[in-house]
Amino acid sequence: MINNTLTIAGMDPSGGAGILADTKAMSALGTYACAVVAALTAQNTQGVTGVQAISPEFVALQLDTLFQDVRIDAVKIGMLGHEKVTLTVAEKLAKFKPEYIVLDPVMVAKSGDVLLEKNAIHALKEALIPLSTMITPNLPEAGVLLNARAAETLKEMYRSAEKLRKLMSDRDNKWVLLKGGHLPGNDTIDLLYNGDKMLELPGQRIATKNTHGTGCTLSAAICALLPQRKNVPDATQQAKEYLLAAIAKANLLTVGSGHGPVQHFHAWW
């Protein structure tokens, strides 16, 4: 049986991030991808020129209508933008109870543009993180969630991962994936932590400017693979391998003159 996955996120017209990137990754990894639009952006590979909110009522209507008809096996949450939208998404997911929820706490675009209102951070921490199977912050996002300076070393990442796990519920099978891509050097390490096991997932930095939407793509890939793999570490490691291959092939694309997208369909094109 083919799994159905859902992304709840913003719309990036350039297709490198947001729901378009998510649906590409989910499709590439063998699931049927659905999407609920939580925000609109005007952006390209060079930056964001505008953000348009979607009303919480319409976000709720999209979710109600979809879940009433389609079996959803896993959900990825990306850019929500506003506090009321965040609370609405949390309310609906608490109602419909999908088995897997992957939360990518999108706060800032690759260009540096802010994508999440400050008053939405509290709603994210109080309402959505406890519902999630996994959260996937990078180091700056983790710093915001913890109201602390972003980790600058692997040792500091360990402490941050432990603190982030405390924001989640105490139930089993709750995971933090703390991404170490902002650490200096060519070696990158992500930490995967469930409150008991701390796993280091090593990686190698790839020389390319085409890294737009890497966080979106990774979280969407994890969402797609969680129902298909025997455990969370396996799904996460394979999602990371998929992303690294997509980055390695990114220079084959010619999309824009800024931070271009990764090649989601590298296995086929």
Is the sign of the CA dihedral 88, 27, 114, 163 positive or negative? positive
Catalytic, out of 7, 188, 211, 236: 211
Catalytic, out of 15, 76, 188, 216: 216
Residue at token pair 């008053």? 119
Q: Please state, in angstroms and rounded to a whole number, the distance separating the CA atoms of residues 262 and 21.
A: 9
* Catalytic residue check, 215: yes
Catalytic, out of 213, 217, 223, 236: 213
Catalytic, out of 10, 15, 18, 215: 215
Q: Classify 47 in phi/psi space as left (phi over 0), alpha (psi -120 to 50) or beta.
A: left
**CB 102 within 8 Å of CB 222:** yes
* Catalytic residue check, 213: yes
Q: Please state, in angstroms and rounded to a whole number, the distance separating the CA atoms of residues 10 and 28.
A: 20
In the numeric block, which tokens belong to residue 69? 């008809």
Bridge partners, residue 49, by sequence: none
* Catalytic residue check, 153: no
Catalytic, out of 41, 133, 214, 236: 214
* Catalytic residue check, 249: no
Catalytic, out of 76, 92, 174, 179: 179
What are the catalytic residues?
179, 211, 213-216
